[in-house]
């Protein structure tokens, strides 16, 4: 199959534009219920043509199956494009290229005999970058950067810490550590996450000191006890969402989006082919900003084999 120099899952570029592009984070789109309803129900990608270079933004549908559409699309991206840089969701840029911790995580959380992949799409993304010889970077800002942005708005330290723990629940369910948010195993996981994130955010032990306080924080915001009725939407960054936690998620999302957008444009301006792999909502949010800087994508859809012809140099 033809291999085109480019960027996987969010970005691919090999070649430098004559004039460096100016980031446009102000064009990032707010995540609303209307935008959510427009999002495709499967993994998809946008490919941008920038001179002789390509940018591919792969919008993952978070998955833990080797035969899932997300895993197939990641494999297609590596088969169809060549990359210098891969930018992945879930760990900070400040860890530098090819962080040992992330590489070890991918090696230790690969597919089981039944095709279940505990590490999710991070695994094929990381292992593909290694096979490609591309430098792997995290696409997340530092937690203290997020903390500064959030506390400068109408949110408390309890809100940020509580949300940091809450957003783990879909992952814990996906990894089969709990069956649902009413699972009694949640208390131990949340308690450990409170301690871990309290340290990361440099907060005192008095901020949500235990599971009971965290559960009370959750109930006050979402007006129901944490339990089996939990839905993933509760951690979504919906500006018009029906849950109190959506407001916090939206503020965190804006901080993450600005960081990722500027990181993408920085690598493009350096003339590097880049792959970025993030969840589907991120591409929906980033499209207006990327279009403003790079023009419209030469391909948008769920089958990257088609991009090899539509995105020729």
Determine the pLDDT at residue 313.
Answer: 58
Whole-angstrom Cα distance, residue 307 to residue 274?
A: 16
Q: Is the pLDDT of residue 217 over 90?
A: yes
pLDDT at 306: 84
CA distance 50 to 126: 25
- pLDDT value at position 73? 96
Mean pLDDT of 62-66: 91
User: In the prediction, which pLDDT does 305 show?
Assistant: 87
**pLDDT surpasses 80 at 6:** no
- How would residue 8 be classed by pLDDT, with cut points 50, 70 and 90? very low
pLDDT at 196: 98
Per-residue model confidence (pLDDT) at position 212: 98
| pTM of the predicted structure, to 2 decimals | 0.83
What would the 3-class secondary structure string for 168-197 be?
A: CHHHHHHCCCCCCCCCCCHHHHHHHHHHHH
pLDDT digit string, tens, across residues 14-60: 344 458 899 999 999 999 999 999 999 999 999 998 877 889 999 99
pLDDT tens readout for residues 293-313? 999 999 999 999 888 888 875
pLDDT for 273: 85
**Contact assessment for residue 180 and residue 152, using Cβ atoms and an 8 Å cutoff:** no
pLDDT of residue 18: 55
Residue 311, pLDDT score: 84
Residue 13 pLDDT greater than 90, yes or no? no
């Amino acid at each position: 199959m033809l291999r085109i120099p480019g960027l996987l899952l969010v970005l691919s570029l090999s070649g430098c534009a004559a004039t460096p592009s100016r980031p446009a984070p102000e064009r990032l789109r707010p995540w609303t219920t209307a935008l959510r309803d427009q999002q495709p129900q499967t993994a998809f990608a946008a490919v941008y043509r920038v001179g002789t270079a390509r940018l591919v933004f792969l919008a993952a549908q978070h998955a833990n199956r080797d035969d899932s559409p997300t895993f197939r699309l990641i494999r297609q991206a590596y088969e169809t494009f060549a990359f210098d840089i891969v930018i992945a969701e879930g760990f900070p840029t400040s860890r530098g290229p090819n962080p040992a911790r992330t590489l070890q995580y991918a090696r230790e959380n690969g597919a089981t005999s039944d095709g279940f992949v505990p590490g999710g799409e991070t695994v094929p993304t990381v292992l593909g970058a290694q096979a490609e010889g591309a430098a792997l970077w995290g696409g997340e800002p530092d937690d203290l950067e997020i903390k500064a942005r959030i506390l400068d708005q109408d949110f408390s330290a309890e809100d940020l810490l509580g949300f940091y723990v809450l957003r783990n629940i879909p992952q814990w369910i996906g990894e089969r550590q709990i069956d649902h948010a009413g699972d009694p195993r949640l208390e131990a996981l949340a308690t450990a996450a409170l301690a871990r994130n309290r340290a990361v955010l440099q907060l005192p032990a008095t901020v949500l000191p235990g599971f009971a306080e965290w559960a009370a924080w959750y109930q006050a915001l979402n007006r129901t006890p944490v339990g089996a009725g939990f839905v993933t939407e509760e951690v979504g960054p919906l500006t018009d969402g029906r849950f109190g936690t959506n407001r916090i998620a939206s503020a965190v999302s804006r901080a993450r989006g600005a960081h990722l957008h500027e990181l993408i444009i920085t690598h493009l301006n350096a003339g590097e082919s880049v792959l970025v792999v993030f969840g589907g909502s991120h591409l929906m949010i980033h499209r207006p900003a990327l279009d403003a800087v790079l023009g419209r994508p030469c391909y948008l859809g769920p089958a990257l084999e088609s991009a090899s012809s539509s995105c020729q140099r």
